[in-house]
Structures are given as structure tokens and as C-alpha cells.
Structure 1
């Protein structure tokens, strides 16, 4: 990684994967921004791509809540002075805490203060915990601040906990930990147009990269950003068992919407899982169920006011 501009004399830094940029991460980001302003320093986030476990333990590497482009969009809301995405390589994984502190934090980032989460570990074997960092900070002249965990319903928020909720289709729990609905991005492409013939025209979305975590298969109440519009809708995620041989799909139906959006980029926010994917013996049976889904979706939006916490 390259160094900072020459005029930057000192920084307040945090380091981590920050997958999901959940409420616990956000507490750390607000802390470095606040401390940097108090010290007339730069606020700096150092994060990694790919996820470190993709390099050191690919067999247990988790799917991502936020792929790099999504993470950049979310982080842009926090008004940090610098966000550095560092390529995580095998060589980098072998850095000892001492080498990481000396070469990265001190020499390149000019850290006057380091802020970490209560469960932070870095360096070879994650041996760089808070005690090690405080010792190295005293040696190199920077302070170390530790931010405690943020709890929801009595349990500390973590990326792992949120992944479990998303994988189970529990979008309310995921949103409570993220501070916003879980989302994915896709481009509208041409499909088989079966939805139109069934009376429910859908927008087929390109699938995300394979390392992006998808919610459990099912039918969801969603909110979608299409251009400058924010619309309510339903989304089918997964196989289409009623139609033999059809591949899995991400199909978006926007309520009370009639516009050609082929080629447009859509951001879908998952609000609530309405039901699982089921096979139907006839198209008429599927249409009846889709009408019930639409009624259930309208009821959900009426009950919730269409609102979900989108703060970051």
C-alpha cells in the first residue's frame, strides 16, 4: 500500500475486515472520526480484500455480507478522510504484529492513535490483541483505544451472527444488527418473461458474485432503488420448481410499477421473508399463490408503513 499525502502529519486509524459495516463497526468509525477531528488529524480505515480467511483458511472462509463495491458505498456515508483497501496476500498474512505496526501503522499511516474493537486480533495467527497493541503503542508513540461491543436483544452484534440470520431468511434480525436492511445489487436483464404471461411482470436481476451471501431461498417483501425511485415490491429468490428445467433466478416484482428498466442497476433491500419456494401442479395454482403473496406484501407494507431503518 502507498503512504498518505505528505501534508498529513498524524492519523487516527482503525483496522479490520468490517464485513457488513454493522452497528459495532459503525461505533468504531464514529470514534475515529471524532478523535481525528479533536486532534486535527486524518481518520483512516484500513480494510482488506479478499477476506483474510480466503487466504489463510479458505475452507472456512465465510460468504460476505458486503462485497467490496457495496462496502465502499456504505463507508462513503461516514465521511472518513481515507479508506484503504489492502490486498490481503499470503505474504501479508505472515506479518507479525510488530512488523505490521512498524511498517503500516507507524511508517505509512503515521498513526497517533489506533482504535480497535474489543475482540480485535491481527498479525500472524491473530496474535496482535489489545495488550500487544498497547505495548507496541507505548514503544512507538501512539495511543490505543478499545471500543466495546454493541448489543441487540442482549447479544453482541457480530458479522457471524448477522450471516446466520441472513442465511436463515431472518431479515429483521439481520437489519437490527446492520442498522439497515440487508441488500444486494443487480442489473435488470431479459429472462423468459413467464411473469408477464402470468400477470406479474418481473425484472430478472443478474446474480451477485459467488462470495456474496444470499438469503435463504424464498419470497420476500423488499424495497428497491431503481434510478431515483424507491419502490416496494416482492422478490423471488431461488429455484422455479413449477417450471421443469428452469434455472434458479432472482426475480423482482415492483408493486404498481410499469416502466421498462432493462439494463438498469437495482439495489434490493430485504425486509421480510413471506414464505418458502414451493412447486405448484398448475399455472393457475401458481397465479393464485402469487396473488396471495401480493396481498401479504401489501399488508406487510401497510403495517410497517414501508419503513425500515436505513441509518448507517
Structure 2
């Protein structure tokens, strides 16, 4: 029996078991994403953008754990952008990061005043706030010599972006797990791309991260993203497995069966050619199976964990504390 389980009552043992299983699942999802998209390479210096929210805390925590077991060497520097929001507890993140014993930088830029001055009352502030924040973080990445910039967007964020673009933007476009900045100088990665938000919420509660609420965007009640989020969460409750199937669809795109003439040469199609992937279903009755819920223990082997003995994430500190 593991030392941490000795002396625990059955309920506490079950809670510890579930916590360890959750930690293992998140760890593997992050490892899968890193491997599938080649997010982290030998010698990388990863700038982890830490907002003070559950997602970025979880990302930092899991990456620090993976850093210990990965077969490659990479460094991590945590960066927080203090946007000078009223009431922002400036001491929380420095205290937390100092206790972890990792390299970090707090960047102070009063973007809050700019956003409040420029954006009309009642309008959403997200677009301007994001542009300002992005420019600052790119600059800091250069100053720190970071080769990759890690953001804490998860699977639900990616799906929400897909539907936002479809419903409001008229585009079949999501949020990529890995991308190059417009100027071609920076690589952005999203290690939580395969992680469910509800798993991250549970993990954050277990780890008791010192969450800092956002008083700028989080206080806007009628955001389009919030509407989409509620829709997807409703589907998840009523149709278990649907969200997993939708995300898999983003990884199984068939351009010949969409309608983008720039993406596929419909005009050049000729009879006698080799059938395109997806097959001829023009006269077929389409049949679909009900989606299956994601198996909690269906974990793929991941090479980023293979070389070194991984440490237990829950029950043993993996972040230097």
C-alpha cells in the first residue's frame, strides 16, 4: 500500500484513488498533445503564460511534472501580465511561484485603463484586451529568449471557437494546438488541447491553486462565447460522448466533402479519377452511430513520459513544493 494511503478511511482512500486517476489522465492528455503536434523539443525554453486562472495553473503544474520525466531537456519560465485591474492581488502569484522555486517574471502593463477608455460601455472588451496582451507577451518572449509560448486553452475552448466562427463568423475555423505568430517569429503551443475543462476544474480544486478572478472579461455576462459554452455543456449532459465526437471530427477533416473551392479543386474533378477519401455517398442513406463517452482509462502510451520514471502527481508534490 502506498504510504499516503496508510491510516486513511475508505472514503479518503477512494478520493485519493480518483484524484490520482484524474492526474494521470490529464498528464497523459498533455503528453499526447505534445507528441502529436511536436510541441516541445530538445533544448526548448517554454514561456508559460500564467493568468491566475485554473487552466494556466494546471498547465504549469503538469508541465513541471512532465519536465521531470521527459526524455528531453527543456526549461520553463512562468510569466504573468499584471494588467493593473482594480483590486488585483499582486502578491498571490509571486508568492506561489517563489514557493515552487521556478524562474518567473511579472510584467506590469496598464492595459486595463486602455481597454476601459477605448471600448464603449456595454461592449465586449475581449478583442482589444487580447491584442494588447498578445503584443506584450511576444515582446517578453523575445526578452526571455523563449522558443515556445504556452497558453492554457483546453479542448472546450477549441470547440467553442469552432462554433463561434461557424455561427458568427461564417468560417470553419477553430483554435489550433500549435501555430506560428503573424510575424513568423514566435511559436505558440496549447498543451491542454486534449484536456476537458471539467477535469481541469476538479484538478484545480484538488491542488487548491490560488485562483485570481478576472474582473475585466469575466464580468461580462452576455458574451457570445458564454452562450456557446452553455450550449456545448448542455449537449454534454444530455448526450454523453457527443463532445468527444465533435472534437475528433476536427482531427478527421475531408476537404472533398465540404464546399471550399480554395481547399479542394472541385472545378477540376473528372470522371475516371481515383475516388477521394470519404467515398461516394451521393445516393446512400447516411447512418451514424451514437457517440461513445470517452473512456477514463483509455490512455495511449506517450513517448514524452517513456525515458524517466514519472513521479506521482497527487499524494506527492511534483512542482518543487
TM-score by length of 2: 0.25
Higher relative contact order (CA 8 A, sep 6+): 2
The structure whose residues are more often strand, as a share, is: 1
The structure whose residues are more often helix, as a share, is: 2
